[in-house]
Structure 1
Amino acid sequence: MKEYKNFLKTVAGNEGGKCRYPTRLDTYGCGCAHDCRYCYAKSLLQFRGLWHPEDPHVANLGRIERKIAALPRGTVVRMGGMTDCLQPCEERYRVTYETIRFLNRYQVHYLLVTKSDLIASDKYVAILDPALAHIQITVTSTDDDLSCRYETACPPTRRIAAIEKLEAEGFDVQLRLSPFLPDYVDFGHLSQVRCHKILVEFLRVNSWIKGWFTGLDVSKYTHTEHGYAHLPLKEKIRLLDRVSGFRDISVCEDCTEAYAYWKKYVNANALDCCNLRF
């Protein structure tokens, strides 16, 4: 086991300017067992020899607590930015579990982003503070068989069940459709998910992702910005119209023109595309 030392960071640049929650804490780093073919973190790290999905680095709990204790009042910590904070090794190391307890102790809000249903297990629900916890569970397909072709996370049916359980128990939970891959989604099935909020994030493609995600048609990704190819705004609007059944719809966006459009015309909270409940 190698120690992950760069576990806390503040995102700057384009993403930092658009995101209300730039403070990121990754309990595991330099690899994620889900090893998704569309992963931007993998595309940034693999060619540098820093991506080890079979053996992610593990953050030190003592260092994590000291950093959390020193955070400015009002900080919201996002967990699961570069790697999933509840990937399978969490069941062995429990670093995310203990980090949640630290955040509760110091009364720091936390946003957990995951493709795991572990967060809805009784053990984790027992420590989630409803006043501090915000959960986004990522779903990229409504078909278990399709999903396993490009990501090794738990099946979407289990993730959706986790979302519905947390919703029923009153937690601030969202279905995170990220990346939004319309060819892999049954929109009728999606609209029946018992959850009030959905956050949509469109796929962004670079040469690495294009090479890994074979079979994906990227011919419509004709808009280039910030080193990635994106769908044009008009096509994004057309696809978003297919998403229904949720009280609140928001879009997380990297492109400047599209970001302004969603903020003005679509997002449930114009000041916060994550639409967290406080």
Structure 2
Amino acid sequence: MPNPPPRPHRGATINRESARFNLPAREADGDWLDDRETVDDAPPRLRTTVTIERPRTILTRNQSPDIAFDRSINAYRGCEHGCIYCFARPTHAYHDLSPGLDFESRLFAKPDAPVLLRAELAKRGYVCSPIAMGTNTDPYQPIEAEWRITRGLIEVLAECSHPFTITTKSDRVLRDLDLIGPMARRGLAAVMMSVTSLDRRIAMTVEPRAAAPERRIAAIRKLSEAGVPVWMSIAPVIPAITDHEIEHLIERAAESGARSITYLPVRLPHEVAPLFRAWLDEHFPDRAAKVMATIRSLRGGKDNDPNFHTRMRGQGPWADLLRTRVQIACRKHGLNKQRIVLRTDLFRPPAGPQGELF
């Protein structure tokens, strides 16, 4: 059965359910369409829907040895940016939804997140350590403009002088610079701006609803000028599509005031692999075979390597060459000279009956 035509301004080209949970296959259907008329037989745009989620807790803990933080917060589930490579896509399968178009159009918001965070920080014996935001889905995706959950979380963290990091692909982070700036100057906040490509055409295909590359570069500059430690994440690096931009990305990062660079070769866990293959066939049919062959060379002959440490850098000649290129470019531009370390000694439990009790 051939795939349906791709949706305008969406990342995934298919919307099949996950076979891992024995869920039935489902292609995009009319229930999700905008009220607009179809133009020239092209499929209409999808309507983004948001469902309120009421979790009991908001902090997610991890013990992964190759991840630099042990706790994180995700204000939203699913992400409207629609990045085709997003390793968080498979999480939508747990909700009987597709990691494809559902992931980027059927979103979940957690409006109680600031209240839950306050309760967590007030618990007896809570030990302060930086909280990472944006590790799974972007805290500044478009719906943050209306829901403002990320801002609410930062307000709680600011009240408690609790350190945090933000990872985003959006210059919408600048709307909270009035909170982030003062905390950063006290050693309590840092931002990682993800920039995959400087080519607007490629960016619109790979990350259809994320901010344009130049807007992200401008955001790095404004954050840096405000005293916020910023590093650029070149993640993921996609062979034969974005890897040729490595040196230019690092140069632009340095010019804009970023202090450090991190990078990650593309990962294709679970349902991401078939989604990525379908996307390649649609947008880059001339090099699809080459891209996948290089990815398999990075991942021990498979589409994905889930093992700690090697999953982050890959293995083999292509991985070695990529690492060398990044190291040379960073030395040339004076990046990665020192780690960004946030303070934990300023933390105070939140005010109020619970905070004062302990």
Give me the TM-score of the superposition, normalised by structure 2: 0.63
Moved more, 144-153 or 87-96: 144-153
Q: Give 1:48 deviation, angstroms.
A: 5.1
Cα deviations by residue, 1:25-53 (Å, 9 ceiling, x for unpaired)? 01112x11112111111034347524542
- Alignment of 1:167 with 2:224, yes or no, is yes
| Structure 2 SS opposite 1:64 | helix
2:65 matched residue in structure 1: 17
Correspondent of 1:197 among 239, 260, 271: 260
Conserved in 2, the CA contact under 8 Å of 1:32 and 1:53?
Answer: yes
User: Within 1, Cα distance between the matches of 2:139 and 2:147?
Assistant: 11
Pick the aligned partner of 2:85 from 31, 38, 59. Answer: 38
1 or 2, which has the higher strand percentage? 1
Q: Is the 8 A contact 1:176 1:199 kept in 2?
A: yes
Give 1 or 2 for the bigger CA radius of gyration: 2
1:192-221 per-residue CA deviation (whole Å, 9 max, x = no partner) reads: 332221111221223532322232512122
CA distance in 2, matches of 1:104, 1:186: 37
**Runs of 4+ with >3 A deviation:** 68-71, 227-231, 275-278
Once the two structures are superposed, the pairs formed by residues 1-278 of structure 1 within 5 Å of their partners are 1-5=51-55, 7-12=58-63, 16-29=64-77, 31-46=78-93, 49-50=96-97, 52-59=103-110, 60=112, 61-70=114-123, 72-120=126-174, 123-128=175-180, 129-130=183-184, 131=186, 132-151=188-207, 152-181=209-238, 183-184=241-242, 185-190=244-249, 191-193=251-253, 194=255, 195-206=258-269, 208-213=271-276, 214-215=279-280, 216=288, 217-220=291-294, 221-222=296-297, 223-224=299-300, 225-226=305-306, 231-243=314-326, 244-245=329-330, 246-249=333-336, 269=339, 275-276=340-341, 278=343
Measured on the aligned residues, the alpha-carbon RMSD in Å equals 2.5
Structure 2 match to 1:252: none
Percentage identity across paired residues of the two chains = 22
Are residues 92 and 229 of structure 1, via their aligned partners in 2, closer, same or farther at CA, if it must alter by over 3 Å?
closer
User: Which one scores higher on RCO, CA 8 angstroms, separation ≥ 6?
Assistant: 2
Paired residue secondary structure (1:171): coil
SS at match of 1:53: helix
**What is the distance in 2 between the residues matched to 1:247 and 1:33?**
35
Structure 1 unpaired stretches of 5+: 250-266, 270-274
How many residue pairs end up in the alignment? 250
**Matches of 1:18 and 1:188, distance apart in 2:** 25
Shift of 1:11: 1.5
Amino acid in the other structure paired with 1:210: A
Are the structure 2 counterparts of residues 88 and 4 from structure 1 closer, same or farther at C-alpha, using a change threshold of 3 Å? farther
Write the letter of the residue equivalent to 1:64.
L
Q: Distance in 2 between matches of 1:125 and 1:100?
A: 10
Where in structure 2 are there 5+ consecutive unaligned residues?
1-50, 281-287, 344-358
Does the residue aligned with 2:261 lie in a helix, a strand or coil? strand
C-alpha separation in 1, matches of 2:247 and 2:269? 31
- One-letter amino acid matched to 1:154: A
- The CA deviation at 1:241 is 2.8
